[in-house]
Amino acid sequence: MAGEEWEQDYLARGERWGGAVHDLPAIAGCGRVLEVGCGNGKTLAAIAANNAGVVGIDCSAAAIALARRSVRDAAHLLVADVRALPFRGGSYDAVCAFHVLGHMEEGDRMLAAGALSSVLREGGSLFFRGFSTADMRYGKGVETEPASYRRGDGILTHYFTEEEVADLFPSLAPVRLLTRTWPLRVRGTAHLRAEIEGIFRKQPAVR
């Protein structure tokens, strides 16, 4: 969805993402941390509990208002576009992009990936998560681009391969790239959820 669509969705539905945060990457003590697409602050609150200097951005002002209730003063929050981040290059020690780039069209994904790489300092880490083509919802909805589908709620979701995720960040070195799966039962039928997790590091420039 575009920014205005996310805004209307949060205004209508409130906190979209609930429950506990599981399998958070080892971000504790990373220094300055940026989470893009922080939504109502579910993951951001967990990150801020173990780090100082945490910043969360979202394209929706309604989402940021919800996130403020969760994180209070533990993180700095602002409305911003992940495709054109309002930060200087090398501003952050860690960047988290969990299920954000997968809600963009291909051109916007490339812009966002470049912006994320730019604000990461040398030696810093980028943490990525996005749904895999092995996920149960792959192929459901109206296909708008290859492996991208818009479902009835208006949400656009792109389903990645590991190779595609690696190609998103050509200036970063992959540290870990894997597909994580878990079962989900719906009305007594077993289904498979699948997401790709990636950790990338920004190598020092050759001088």
Q: Kindly list the structural domains of the chain, giving each domain's residue range(s) and its CATH number in brackets, ordered by start.
A: 119-207 (3.40.50.150)
- Phi, psi of 163, rounded to the nearest 5 degrees: -65, -40
Provide the pLDDT for residue 132: 99
The model's pTM = 0.89
Provide the pLDDT for residue 15: 57
3-class DSSP assignment, residue 38: coil
Q: How far is CA 166 from the centre of its chain?
A: 15
Q: How far is CA 202 from the centre of its chain?
A: 18
Q: Scan for tokens 């997790």, then name that residue.
A: 197
- Residue 153, CB-side half-sphere exposure with 13 Å CA sphere: 10
Provide the pLDDT for residue 21: 56
Provide the pLDDT for residue 8: 54
3-class DSSP assignment, residue 184: strand
Three-class SS of 77-118: EEECCCCCCCCCCCCEEEEEEECCHHHCCHHHHHHHHHHHHH
> Angle of helix 3-13 relative to helix 61-71, nearest 10 degrees?
50
- Splitting the chain (207 residues) into consecutive groups of 10 residues, what average pLDDT does each group show? 55 53 70 93 88 91 90 92 96 96 97 98 96 97 97 90 98 97 91 97 83
